[in-house]
């Protein structure tokens, strides 16, 4: 991708003194690329199911998973800021050749699995709104994502992503105004863990849908594209501080939207004793219970989610393959194009072969769960290595925290795989 010019002139008012507020804005943006990844159609399915079956009782899972995600995404950004390398470039440079190829190979498969869910979600949104067949909607989504990347500008893509996230957020604010929420139960559910009978599988699903391999690769890529590591220690330290603010802000937006999904499902479906097994059913059920406007807004938000997340999944695929050859994400580069092509075309071929789209979503999540430990432990290894990070290596406390989170995320995903296969 084109590295947009980053001049401090844009942060100075007419009196020549830098504006702190405007300077902070210069560092904000990369976190939003991650946000669309964990408010994607896969999250919609798990959140709707959790809210419909267990009401407000599993909102705490969204809170816990977001907290773990903040630590891991910050660590991915930490790598990009301090070294100027994304995870894929770090693997290609510091892992053995065989290990790097295996690592990147599994990550590419994960990016295809991610794109499968994202493209399928957008196609379902198009079907809801315009009665377009799933296969045709998938082709439209793939073309849209490719055209977005041809824009060849991080800043322009950040603006588009902000727009999509805004549409999704406003849509759920609108949905919340139409329903009666038991806020005392909702607040309790957000922070007090509860394990209703039979809920383990959906708990694993919600957690597994939040921490995704391609998001870790993408965050480090978008951050390293700004090449802060070349601008001196003072700039690196400042970026580390502002990046954490960016990450927390973006993750909290994602937390709010995911929580809103579950609130809608709890207040509409659980209250009426309706179990949700697919997104089309959820949208169709909203119409008689809440009104036609709610159903249309639901579909519009799903479409925005699928279009945005399919674009970022394709970006991740280009970054992952290019990184193996020490190439940055640049749409004019052959490696990036091949990575993007494998991601989108691979997802499209699988969608054409699917007989049951809902099962396709399930198996895509299993594929992500299988690969996730590779990405998480690979990231923590890189950022805990003094050879890689120099003076910015993880502290002992950070290493312990990250390995605990990595172990928990891995264990939960293994449980999810076992439960799903059963």
What percent of the chain has pLDDT above 70?
88
Rounded Cα distance between 85 and 79, Å, is 7
Of 135-144, 149-158, 258-267, 298-307, give the lowest mean pLDDT range: 149-158
pLDDT of residue 223: 82
Rounded Cα distance between 321 and 88, Å, is 8
Read off the pLDDT of each residue in 353-377 and give the average, rounded to a whole number. Answer: 79
Residue 121 pLDDT greater than 60, yes or no: yes
The more confidently predicted of residues 383 and 278 is: 383
Tens of pLDDT, residue by residue over 77-107, are 999 999 989 999 999 999 999 999 999 999 9
In a 10 Å sphere around its CB, with 0-12 CB exposed, 13-18 middle and 19+ buried, how is residue 110 labelled? buried
The more confidently predicted of residues 415 and 274 is: 274
**Which pLDDT band holds residue 189 (cuts at 50, 70, 90)?**
very high
Q: What is the mean pLDDT of the chain?
A: 86
Residue 6 pLDDT greater than 90, yes or no: no
pLDDT of residue 32: 80
Residue 235 pLDDT greater than 80, yes or no: no
pLDDT of residue 10: 39
CA distance from start to end of the chain: 43
Count other C-beta atoms under 10 Å from residue 197's C-beta. Answer: 6
Residue 234 pLDDT greater than 90, yes or no: no
pLDDT of residue 20: 55
Rounded Cα distance between 139 and 133, Å, is 10
Residue 51 pLDDT greater than 80, yes or no: yes
Assign domain 30-421 to a CATH class: mainly alpha
Residue 352 pLDDT greater than 60, yes or no: yes
The more confidently predicted of residues 210 and 230 is: 210
Tens of pLDDT, residue by residue over 7-48, are 343 343 434 445 555 555 555 667 887 888 889 888 888 899
Tens of pLDDT, residue by residue over 247-262, are 999 999 999 999 999 9
pLDDT of residue 421: 67
Read off the pLDDT of each residue in 229-246 and give the average, rounded to a whole number. Answer: 76
**Which pLDDT band holds residue 371 (cuts at 50, 70, 90)?**
confident
pLDDT of residue 168: 95
Distances (CA, A) of 325 to 93, 278, 344: 9, 40, 20
pLDDT of residue 21: 54
Question: Mind giving me the DSSP string for 361-392?
Answer: HHHHHHHHHHHHHHHHHHHHHHHT-HHHHGGG
Tens of pLDDT, residue by residue over 193-206, are 999 988 877 887 78
pTM (2 decimals)? 0.87
The more confidently predicted of residues 320 and 11 is: 320
Torsion of CA 414, 204, 362, 190, to 10 degrees: -160
Greatest mean pLDDT among 7-11, 397-401, 405-409 lies in 397-401
Show the tokens assigned to 374. Answer: 């590779």
Rounded Cα distance between 189 and 301, Å, is 25
Distances (CA, A) of 113 to 116, 165, 339, 342, 365: 5, 22, 13, 11, 7
Report yes or no: 209 and 366 within 8 Å, Cβ to Cβ. Answer: no
Q: Please calculate the CA angle 330-331-336 and round it to the nearest 5 degrees.
A: 75
Residue 370 pLDDT greater than 80, yes or no: no
Read off the pLDDT of each residue in 161-167 and give the average, rounded to a whole number. Answer: 91
The more confidently predicted of residues 418 and 132 is: 132
Show the tokens assigned to 107. Answer: 């990550």
Read off the pLDDT of each residue in 353-382 and give the average, rounded to a whole number. Answer: 82
């Amino acid at each position: 991708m084109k590295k947009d010019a980053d001049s401090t002139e844009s942060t100075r008012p007419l009196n020549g003194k830098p504006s702190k507020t405007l300077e902070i804005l210069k560092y904000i943006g990369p976190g939003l690329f991650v946000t669309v990844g964990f408010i994607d159609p896969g999250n919609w399915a798990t959140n709707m199911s959790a809210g419909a079956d267990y009401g407000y009782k599993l909102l705490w899972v969204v809170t816990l998973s977001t907290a773990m995600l903040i630590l891991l995404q910050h660590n991915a950004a930490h790598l990009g800021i301090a070294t100027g390398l994304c995870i894929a470039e770090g693997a290609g440079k510091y892992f053995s050749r065989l290990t790097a190829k295996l690592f990147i190979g599994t990550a590419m498969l994960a990016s295809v699995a991610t794109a499968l869910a994202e493209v399928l979600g957008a196609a379902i949104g198009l079907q809801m709104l315009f009665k377009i067949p799933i296969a045709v909607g998938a082709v439209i989504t793939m073309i849209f994502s490719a055209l977005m990347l041809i824009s060849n500008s991080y800043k322009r893509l950040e603006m588009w992503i902000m727009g999509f996230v805004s549409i999704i957020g406003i849509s759920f604010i609108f949905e919340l105004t139409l329903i009666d929420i038991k806020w005392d139960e909702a607040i309790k559910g957000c922070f007090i863990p509860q394990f209703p009978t039979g809920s383990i599988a959906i708990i694993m699903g919600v957690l597994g849908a939040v921490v995704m391999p391609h998001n870790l690769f993408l965050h480090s890529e978008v951050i390293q594209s700004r090449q802060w590591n070349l601008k001196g220690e003072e700039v690196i330290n400042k970026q580390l501080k502002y990046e954490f603010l960016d990450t927390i802000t973006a993750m909290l937006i994602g937390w709010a939207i995911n929580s809103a999904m579950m609130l809608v499902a709890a207040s509409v479906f659980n209250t009426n004793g309706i179990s949700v097994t697919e997104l089309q059913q959820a949208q169709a059920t909203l119409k008689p219970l809440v009104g036609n406007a709610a159903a249309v807004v639901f579909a519009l938000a799903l479409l925005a989610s699928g279009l945005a997340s399919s674009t970022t999944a394709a970006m991740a695929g280009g970054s992952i393959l290019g990184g193996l050859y020490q190439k940055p994400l640049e749409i004019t580069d052959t490696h990036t194009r091949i990575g993007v092509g494998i991601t989108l075309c691979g997802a499209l071929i699988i969608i054409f072969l699917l007989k049951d789209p809902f099962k396709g979503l399930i198996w895509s999540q299993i594929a992500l769960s299988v690969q996730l430990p590779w990405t998480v432990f690979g990231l923590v290894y890189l950022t805990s290595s003094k050879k890689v990070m120099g003076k910015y290596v993880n502290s002992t406390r950070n290493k312990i925290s990250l390995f605990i989170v990595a172990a928990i995320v891995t264990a939960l995903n293994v449980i999810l795989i076992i439960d799903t296969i059963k």
